[in-house]
Amino acid sequence: MKVLGLLSGGKDSCYNLMHCIANGHEVVALATLVPEEGVDELDSYLYQSVGTSLVTLIAKALRLPLYQRTITGKPVHLESTYGSRTKNRGLDQAKKDGIDGDETEDLDELLHQVKADFPDLQGVSTGAILSTYQRTRIEHVASRPSLGLTCLCYLWQRPEAELVDEMLGSGLRAVIMKVAGLGLKVEDVGKELGAMRPKLARLEELYGSHVAGEGGEYETITIDCPLFHESIQIEEAETIVTDPSPVAYYRVKRATLQPKENHHVPTQTQLRESLRLDVDGIEGMSRFDEESEDLLADLKEASESYPEVEDLRLSSPASYSLMERGLSLTQIQHQNFLLADMDDFPKANKAYSAFFGSSPPSRACVSVVLPVNQRVRLEAMGYDDSLLPERSVLGRSALHVQSISYWAPANIGPYSQAVMAGHRLTIAGQIGLIPPTLSLPSPQSFMEEAVLSLQHVRRILAVLRSTSTAGGGWEGWVEGVICWYARSKDLPLAKCAWTAHAKTNGYSKTPVAFIQVPQLPKGALVEWQFAVHTGRRVTPVIHDDEEIPVTCKHDQYNDAGFSGIIIESALGQSHFAVHHFESLGAIADGLEARDVPFASSLERAFSVRVFYDESLTERQVSILRETMKDKSTGAVTLVPVISTSSLNEKQPLCVIVYGQ
């Protein structure tokens, strides 16, 4: 695609351009936002201002047109996400959900200026590594309907030390333009990054500082990289010390371009080699991490025998069901999007996307064996964050990454990779896409797809556990898992993949159900859906005149297939369990046996999903529906599928999954 390079002039934005080209994209122009004339340093949460005077030289060295715009806005909206959760269709689509006076809107004006000159522009290059604040704002603006741009963010979530070493190894040279971190001195200003690398390593070991400067420890300007036709020579500069010391920055008074002897701009293939990329394509760089490579090797040697792992119920601090509390679509945490035919997905998804803006719910999408008069069935789980103090870390937060990267598949659509609300975390269904290409392995391989999709889950969890804006610092546990698969012959490998993954990650007692369905998104062979508990206790705000209901009768099931919205509160104990039944009589017996955990737990469940074999007759389904509605106080969704299974049982007639 044709790409615009958002350029601060620092090492990250320039290095990401190298990856854009190595991925086969064409960089056609550069753009930067700068402070007004005479201002060296601007109080901005989004843009680098120190050293931007050299961006003009960088553009000349790259032989690309440069678009500049003066920053006029301020950091008004300081939340990690940007914009409204709802689709405000009445607003000017060019500034959908924009916030007047916010510095983010300066980027909107700049991108529209470039788009007017390059109407076939498709992508935007950005050098974000860890900053959710920066990435979400660029994604929000770029994805507006009047722009329709895809963000390319190949540095996202890369290990910092490894990344800095790769930059230096590729031939990129950068100068420290500002220091503002513990252990960095005024005299470090103006030094090259390569010379500072040993010191940065020591500071990381001593203080836990960020080697790549992601904690604001330092900023850089690139003076040379393989894409430059000339290098930049800083001929006159001074160090400005600001209050409080030792915050200091480099004010460049004069700089020139210097010829590079025997220089040629590397081709895409040469860039791949210099960036140490796999010969089969750039996706090889981070297609599998070490754990996934070990799992893939184990799968290749898999036999038909599997360890005996029981499906156990897990208990934890958590929730009761709340309904009819006047909550909106913005408080939905997770959606299960069930289609009769995956060919209907584009049309159904277009209608679905009209209801969600930024921070949309997580979502799993599969096709199931719906009755002939139904095309779509939706199940939604919501969270009442009005019970919590304002800006509580236990409120609702989403991981919504729309940028193309090497990390995990981008969400080019109205759903988030994960949503955390209170103590519970829901992860979108993950299929085995190769992140930088958003394509499935070719030739198609169940083993590779299973390993990749489990790797995506692991990486999503790692980000959420470490991100302060998402209330990081928790360990938690996996409450339950559903493995959706499309071919009956792949069930043994699905069980083997889960067993190996569970053993490595400590999930051996996690309830898991294996559900065969006709189709998965993009023709994938497997999709994993995880429910996670963070282990945190949620204390809601309860007013003196307010009563918190602990149970509610679900009566919203209808023939259209919508099972109602389940609203969580943050009180009590929770359980997630998977139960298997060979017959409808076994279900009835289990419900009548009051001393059986299944019966008592089901009465307190906020969510019940019943996966049943498509071979059931219409009368049997009717009996099943009435039985579950009569015995459960939560929302009940019936899901007809090809077959059901667990680790230890062949093909039960019915699988009941519930959360309490």
Greater confidence, 89 or 243?
243
pLDDT at 224: 96
Count of the separate structural domains present in the chain = 2
User: Distance between CA 416 and CA 557 in Å, rounded?
Assistant: 26
pLDDT at 307: 39
Q: For the residues 505-524, what does the mean pLDDT come to?
A: 89
Half-sphere exposure of 442 (CA within 13 A, CB side): 8
User: Distance between CA 126 and CA 30 in Å, rounded?
Assistant: 11
Structure tokens at 615: 């071979």
Last residue of a domain, one of 244, 263, 283: 283
Residue at 275 is within a domain: yes
Q: Based on the domain organization, do 244 and 369 belong to the same domain?
A: no
Place of tokens 């083997």: 496
pLDDT at 48: 74
Place of tokens 């990381």: 204
pLDDT at 550: 27
Q: Based on the domain organization, do 126 and 221 belong to the same domain?
A: yes
* 102-111, 148-157, 501-510: range with lowest mean pLDDT: 501-510
pLDDT at 359: 83
Last residue of a domain, one of 234, 263, 283: 283
Residue 560 confidence (pLDDT) above 60: no
Structure tokens at 308: 């005996």
pLDDT at 231: 96
Residue at 31 is within a domain: yes
Q: Based on the domain organization, do 139 and 47 belong to the same domain?
A: yes
Q: Based on the domain organization, do 141 and 6 belong to the same domain?
A: yes
Last residue of a domain, one of 237, 266, 283: 283
Residue 20: CATH number of its domain: 3.40.50.620
- Categorize the per-residue pLDDT at 390 as very low, low, confident or very high, splitting at 50, 70 and 90: low
Residue at 292 is within a domain: no
Beta-bridge partners for 531: 426, 480
- Categorize the per-residue pLDDT at 223 as very low, low, confident or very high, splitting at 50, 70 and 90: very high
Q: Based on the domain organization, do 271 and 169 belong to the same domain?
A: yes
Q: What is the DSSP string of 281-340?
A: -GGGGSSS-HHHHHHHHHHHT--S---------EEEE---EE-SS---GGGEEEEEEEES
Residue at 463 is within a domain: yes
Q: Based on the domain organization, do 85 and 130 belong to the same domain?
A: yes
Q: Based on the domain organization, do 111 and 246 belong to the same domain?
A: yes
Cα 350 to Cα 400, 412, 443, 607: the distances in Å are: 18, 12, 30, 27
Q: Quickly count: other Cβ atoms within 10 Å of residue 39's Cβ.
A: 12
Q: What is the pLDDT of residues 352-375, one digit of tens each?
A: 888 887 888 999 999 999 888 888
pLDDT at 112: 96
Q: What is the pLDDT of residues 416-455, one digit of tens each?
A: 999 988 778 899 999 999 999 999 999 999 999 999 999 9
97 CB burial (10 A radius; 0-12, 13-18, 19+): middle
Residue 547: CATH number of its domain: 3.30.1330.40
Q: Based on the domain organization, do 490 and 548 belong to the same domain?
A: yes
Query: Do the beta carbons of residue 419 and residue 265 sit within 8 Å?
Result: no
* 281-295, 308-322, 418-432, 528-542: range with lowest mean pLDDT: 308-322
Q: For the residues 88-101, what does the mean pLDDT come to?
A: 55
Percent of the chain scoring above 70 in pLDDT:
74
Strands 2-6 and 26-34, by their bridges, are parallel
Q: Based on the domain organization, do 353 and 262 belong to the same domain?
A: no
- Categorize the per-residue pLDDT at 546 as very low, low, confident or very high, splitting at 50, 70 and 90: very low
User: Distance between CA 71 and CA 33 in Å, rounded?
Assistant: 6
Nearest to 257 by CA among 59, 52, 4, 34: 59
Query: Do the beta carbons of residue 23 and residue 283 sit within 8 Å?
Result: no
Residue at 306 is within a domain: no
Query: Do the beta carbons of residue 257 and residue 60 sit within 8 Å?
Result: yes
pLDDT at 386: 66
Nearest to 193 by CA among 209, 180, 174: 174
Query: Do the beta carbons of residue 530 and residue 340 sit within 8 Å?
Result: no
Residue 312 confidence (pLDDT) above 60: no
Q: For the residues 16-31, what does the mean pLDDT come to?
A: 95
Cα angle: 355, vertex 329, 354; to 5 degrees: 0
Structure tokens at 178: 């500002």
Percent of the chain scoring above 90 in pLDDT:
39
Contacts (Cβ under 8 Å, ≥6 apart) of 565: 323, 327, 332, 380, 381, 382, 556, 635
Mean pLDDT of the chain: 79
Query: Do the beta carbons of residue 498 and residue 485 sit within 8 Å?
Result: no
Residue at 299 is within a domain: no
Residue at 170 is within a domain: yes
Contacts (Cβ under 8 Å, ≥6 apart) of 429: 363, 364, 365, 366, 484, 521, 527, 528, 529
pLDDT at 308: 37
Structure tokens at 253: 């008074």
pLDDT at 305: 46
pLDDT at 123: 96
Contacts (Cβ under 8 Å, ≥6 apart) of 551: 320, 321, 603, 604, 633
pLDDT at 554: 25
Domain residues for 248? Answer: 2-283
Q: Based on the domain organization, do 279 and 315 belong to the same domain?
A: no
Cα 276 to Cα 19, 20, 152, 269: the distances in Å are: 11, 15, 19, 11
- Rounded to a whole number, what is the distance in angstroms from the first to the last CA of the chain? 47
Residue 119 confidence (pLDDT) above 90: yes
Q: Based on the domain organization, do 75 and 144 belong to the same domain?
A: yes
Q: Based on the domain organization, do 524 and 606 belong to the same domain?
A: yes
Query: Do the beta carbons of residue 409 and residue 399 sit within 8 Å?
Result: no
Contacts (Cβ under 8 Å, ≥6 apart) of 605: 321, 632, 633, 634, 658, 659, 660
Q: Quickly count: other Cβ atoms within 10 Å of residue 447's Cβ.
A: 22
Residue at 649 is within a domain: yes
